[in-house]
């Protein structure tokens, strides 16, 4: 039972990271119809920034500053690199985001070097007792923070004029323009939000483990998450992310006992296997729209 609870919390914790990343993908996709592959780089840059700032302004201050800085960076990338491409085929734009990803990562790597940098988080690998099981504090922090952030996002989209404008742009840009909504600002804000979320996700990945040049690979787990949830569903992104985390965690815990013939480290593959299964049944994702166009 303890093992089960530990796996669940670990799964939800890492799942929160995937959810934050997936939300960024979905927010950008909904407003611009482009899948941005720059998310891994923003995630890495956020974690590295925190590793430099934490000694100066404390860990929490550093997270706040890094989220804002990466949001502004993402906004700048949208303004300068992607804005001229509005109206071009989405495939071309998606490839450009891969270019952005590479550039940002190469620059960031120069600040990492060959070390593993620490972000200076107060949790590390310390555990605490939770419902009778010993679980790592950091996972509980991740779950709690993600819950607060996603709730704030949902309220923002539901009730604020800007959130409403973003939903309108996702539905029909021309008509949104006729209501006086600046579609350009909505694009920029989507990128900024996605950047901030990626930075936060990057910090979470680095807590207890540190930042090295390979950290960005974690962001790829957001892809099965958004495929699971459906590309245009914010709720789907959160659920998809958590599902990927849990599947990964449970396979890690139990697969060795119950299905050793799958080989070691099958947990890493499990999210993708789950994605394939879902695609067979619901090609548009669990919460997606049926007529969605795939890249």
Partner 1 sequence: MAVVNVLEVIDIRLAFEGVIAVDGVSFEVGESELFAIIGPNGAGKTSIFNVLSGVYRPQQGTVRFNGDDLIGRRPHRIAALGLSRTFQNIELFSHLTVVDNLMLGRHNHMRYGPLSAFLWLGRARSEELKNRSAVEDVIDFLELEQWRRFPVGLLPYGVQKRVELGRALAMDPRLLLLDEPVAGMNVEETEDMARFILDVREELNIPMIMVEHDMGLVMDLADRVMVMDFGRPIRTGTPAEVQADPDVIRAYLGEQHRSVTT
106 binds partner 1, rule: CB under 8 A: no
Q: Which is nearer to partner 1, 75 or 246 (CB)?
A: 75
Q: Tally DSSP H helices, then E strands, for the chain.
A: 11, 2
**Smallest distance from the beta carbon of 68 to partner 1, in angstroms?**
10
Helix (H, G, I), strand (E, B) or coil at 208: coil
Helical segments of 33-135, H only: 39-57, 59-77, 90-112
User: Does residue 86 touch partner 1 according to CB under 8 A?
Assistant: no
User: Considering only CA atoms, which of 123, 103, 292 is closest in space to residue 206?
Assistant: 123
Cα–Cα–Cα angle for 20, 215, 190, rounded to 5 degrees: 35
Q: Which of 69, 183, 209, 238 binds partner 1 (CB under 8 A)?
A: 183
Establish if 126 lies at the interface with partner 1 (CB under 8 A). no
The residue range among 42-50, 79-87, 149-157, 238-246 that interacts with partner 1, by the rule CB under 8 A, is: 149-157
CB atoms within 10 A of CB 227: 26
- Rule CB under 8 A: is residue 164 a binding residue for partner 1? yes
- Select 174 or 293, whichever has its Cβ closest to partner 1: 174
> Among the candidate windows 52-60, 78-86, 162-170, 213-221, which touches partner 1 by CB under 8 A?
162-170
Nearest distance in Å: CB 159, partner 1: 7
Q: Is 271 exposed, middle or buried (0-12, 13-18, 19+ CB in 10 A)?
A: buried
Binding footprint of partner 1 on the chain (CB under 8 A)? 152, 155-156, 159-165, 167-168, 171-172, 174-183, 189, 192
């Amino acid at each position: 039972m303890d093992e089960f609870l530990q796996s669940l919390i670990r799964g939800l914790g890492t799942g929160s990271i995937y959810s934050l990343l997936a939300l960024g993908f979905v927010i950008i996709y909904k407003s611009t119809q482009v899948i941005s592959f720059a998310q891994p780089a923003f995630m890495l840059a956020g974690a590295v920034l925190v590793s430099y700032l934490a000694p100066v302004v404390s860990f929490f201050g550093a997270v706040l500053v890094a989220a804002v800085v990466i949001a502004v960076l993402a906004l700048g990338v949208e303004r300068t690199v992607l804005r001229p491409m509005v109206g071009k085929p989405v495939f071309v734009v998606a490839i450009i985001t891969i270019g952005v990803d590479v550039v940002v990562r190469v620059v960031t790597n120069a600040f990492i070097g060959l070390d593993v940098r620490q972000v200076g988080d107060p949790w590390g690998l310390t555990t605490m007792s939770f419902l009778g099981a010993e679980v790592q504090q950091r996972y509980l922090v991740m779950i709690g923070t993600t819950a607060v952030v996603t709730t704030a996002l949902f309220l923002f989209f539901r009730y604020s004029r800007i959130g409403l404008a973003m939903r309108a742009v996702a539905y029909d840009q021309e008509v949104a323009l006729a209501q006086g909504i600046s579609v350009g600002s909505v694009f920029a804000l989507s990128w900024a939000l996605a950047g901030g979320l990626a930075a936060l996700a990057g910090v979470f990945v680095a807590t207890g483990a540190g930042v090295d040049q390979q950290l960005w690979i974690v962001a790829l787990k957001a892809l099965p998450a958004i495929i699971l949830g459906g590309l245009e569903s914010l709720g789907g992104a959160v659920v998809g992310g958590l599902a990927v985390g849990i599947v990964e965690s449970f396979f890690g815990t139990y697969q060795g006992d119950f299905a050793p013939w799958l080989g070691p480290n099958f947990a890493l593959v499990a999210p993708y296997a789950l994605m394939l299964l879902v695609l067979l049944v619901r090609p548009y994702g669990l919460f997606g729209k049926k007529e969605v166009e795939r890249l």
